Amino acid sequence: SQVMFKFLRKVEEDPDGGKALPAEGGGQIAMFALKSGGKKDVVAYDDVADIPEHDELLTASGHPSFAVPEVQHQQVAAVRQGHAALLLATDEFSRSVEYLSLRQRLRSKFADVREAIATPTVLLSLYSQTASHGKHVDRRDDEDPLSRELFQTQVEKGIRARCTDIHIVIMEDAPTAVVLHRIDGLICLADRIPQVHALAAVGVAFNKLADKGTRSDGTFIPGRHQYAKIPVVVDGDSYNLRFQSLAVAGGLRVVLRTLETSKSKNSDAKTFEQLGYSRDQCRQLHNGSRRTKGGIFIAGPTGSGKSTTLKTMMMSSPTRHRRIQLTVEDPVEYKIFGAGQVSLQRSAKDEGDADMNAAMRAILRCDPDELMVGEIKDPEMAELLEGFILSGHKSLTSVHTTSAFEIVTRLASKKLKVSRDAMEARNFLTLLIYQNLVPVLCTKCRIPASQASEEQFPSSTRQALRDIFKVNPDCMFVTNECGCEKCSFKGTIGQTVVAEVVAPDDDMRMRFGSGQYAAAEKKWRRSRKAAFDEEDCTGKTALEHGIYKACVGMIDPVVLESFTEPFESYQVVESSKE
């Protein structure tokens, strides 16, 4: 805003200096920035709709005088506006020898050559629009280079922004596709791309860039749900993109989950402490890691870090170098050093789990000591795992539920059919874990509760914290949505676990065997030893773990509420000591 104010003041003082580079047509005001090297102020376009009306794209392929190589289409472009030329380039390219050479050639023909900064997406969109209108373009059916460049640009932008998921929303009735980023668990608008070019980019990614053995279909079909794995390299680090397309009414959504695979950064798992578990929870998790038999079950919503915790559990075993660890996953997301990992790829149309079950039967004949299964999905899989655990082996797996105790309910349901006798057995259930991930506040720009507005921290939420949890909301902090340089202007910097960890005792197992799941949970919650503003999480739910983290200023209580449930309707179970 300060840069914009300086420009508007300059235009007011010198109207001729401003009207030379108008921002037209897009409904957005072009941002202005001072180029390095002491040059005068120049326009910086971040939306192709703001590019002024022009007669032709001078640098398009096939132009006799000013065409640039396709590899430079995301770096530079020049358009003719009557008897003048407008030269656009990324800030980095504008300092290159190639840029200076192009500018000199333009000046040899045009008396007035204006300069502006543009993003790679704007430049690619400009070439795409020109190609669709047929202006000085060497028409070719193969537009792969341009589509690859756009796809790579969007992926690089997302990964550099710490994005875990890149969403590309392409709707038939919209001229532009929307690119969304999930950063620290929250969705934000990242970019807009011409619809036609966005569709071409995701098509090329699926058809040409994906590992052939991972594609659910031979070719990309917008009207079908499709899956693939795409390897990419960004800033020297390797990633796998988990490509999932979803045909929706009136369009298409493509989601790219970013999974880092660089050996230097992925060889060691994070510790439980680094993930955000409390000290008492870490003790239980380490005890579970040392066990050589029994089942460890983890639950949580999609994107809650279950795979990361499972990897940490396997790598935390002190005897893992003397044991055979095998996994069967759909597909493998993280490499686990020393473990034999079976990666399965099923068609999005395949609703069965025959391949997964066949892989599990094969693994059980390979003398494993420890087995990790990505997720239990059907009765046959549950039966195989039940037999494996009851035969004295160790297993780790995930289940989709909304709490630790609902894991038991899910296992005993008609969907999975695990016997109550098994759940009552002494060595069947070692740990029940539920976790979610919540954004961590940036300590440099977070806003103290005393300075927060009603919109940032509603009085009803403050009162619920006082009345229900008996904590002081005045000691808390909320998110600064403007952010700062430290957090890349997001207000948050990373995520932390809020969790509940249950190690079933004999009384709980007996209640599980008789179907008294709610009574078992109530007994566990009554074992709570600490107030909600104290760290000990014995008997505390994931929400209650989050309340403690809000009390110490780590997370925003309003955001915590949006990730869990409304505080006002939450029911606290009094501890046996209260």
* pLDDT tens, residue by residue, 85-97: 999 999 889 999 8
pLDDT at 577: 65
Question: How far are the Cα atoms of 18, 27, 126, 179 from residue 50, in angstroms, in the given order?
Answer: 15, 8, 11, 18
Residue 291 has pLDDT above 50, yes or no: yes
**What stretches of 175-304 adopt beta strand conformation (E)?**
176-183, 186-194, 226-234, 237-248, 251-260, 294-299
pLDDT at 4: 41
Residue 169 has pLDDT above 70, yes or no: yes
Structure tokens, 256: 């790219």
- b/e 522-559 (16+ beta carbons within 10 angstroms → b): ebbbeebebebbeeebbbbbbbbbbbbbbbebbbbbbb
pLDDT tens digits, one per residue of 428-438: 999 999 999 99
The strand pair at 76-81 and 56-57 is best described as: antiparallel
Write down the mean pLDDT value for the chain: 86
Alpha carbon distance 370, 318 (integer Å): 13
Residue 293 has pLDDT above 90, yes or no: yes
Alpha carbon distance 300, 401 (integer Å): 6
- Tell me, yes or no, if the pTM score tops 0.75: no
Alpha carbon distance 387, 392 (integer Å): 9
pLDDT tens digits, one per residue of 448-492: 999 999 999 999 999 999 999 999 999 999 999 999 999 989 999
Mean pLDDT of 56-84: 88
Nearest to 524 by CA among 392, 416, 412, 434: 434
Asked whether 77 and 118 are in contact (CB, 8 A), the reply is: yes
